[in-house]
Amino acid sequence: MNLEREWKDQLYQEFARIGKCLSSPKRLELIDILAQGPKSVEQLAKMTGMSVANVSQHLQTLHESRLVRFTKKGNYVIYEIAELSVADFMVSLHRLSEKQLVEIQRLKNEIVQQHASMEPIPLEELRVRMEKGEVLLLDVRPKDEYVMGHIPGAISIPIEELEEHLASLPVDKEIVAYCRGPYCFMSAQAVEILKTNGIKASRLEEGVYEWKRYVEYSNVSLPGDA
């Protein structure tokens, strides 16, 4: 075997480490969740319906491939994605899969049909209407994810607390709810709650990551941008 062949074999063997690591649906879900901000093993277990032991095993595999990192806080182990490029890769994977795999398109259409509130407002329209003061942007993710990063101008009311805070929302503006991106439906649930209570509302399909990329590529901002 010549040196060039040996070098290529070793190179693609290393590339394959990432591919093998991502062959588990649960590990993909864990990365998507961690892209929103750091989480403890116990939080991840609750959010994914897995046992703490199974989550720990999946996280160890992700850590061995350098896709996540962890710190210790008291008795808790806190995980996060290793760097932003991991989130970039996941978004590219989502887009490629949705484009190439008919089943993903079918599943997305199926959930859209179940939620009349799934029809989203485009980012550009949101930007214009926020500049005019016509809409209030509502982040319905957990508080810790909002603190880690949110779309400028958004207020935080986690989905499980929304019904308790309906009276605090303005009646003269449309509410635009968002959560973790295109495959998160907490925002659709929020819109249904708001509409049921007579509040005009719509859904933003994109999340914080998509907003940041939109700002980078379009050179725009929302009221409240630093």
Three-state secondary structure string covering the chain: CCHHHHHHHHHHHHHHHHHHHCCCHHHHHHHHHHCCCCEEHHHHHHHHCCCHHHHHHHHHHHHHCCCEEEEEECCEEEEEECCHHHHHHHHHHHHHHHHHCHHHHHHHHHHHHHCHHHCECCHHHHHHHHHCCCEEEEECCCHHHHHHCCCCCCEECCHHHHHHHHHHCCCCCEEEEECCCCCCCHHHHHHHHHHHCCCCEEECCCCHHHHHHHHHHHCCCCCCCC
Report CA torsion sign: 159, 28, 45, 72.
Answer: negative
**Annotation says 179 is catalytic:** yes
Burial of 200 (0-12, 13-18, 19+ CB in 10 A): middle
Catalytically annotated residue among 81, 137, 159, 179: 179
Residues that are catalytic: 179
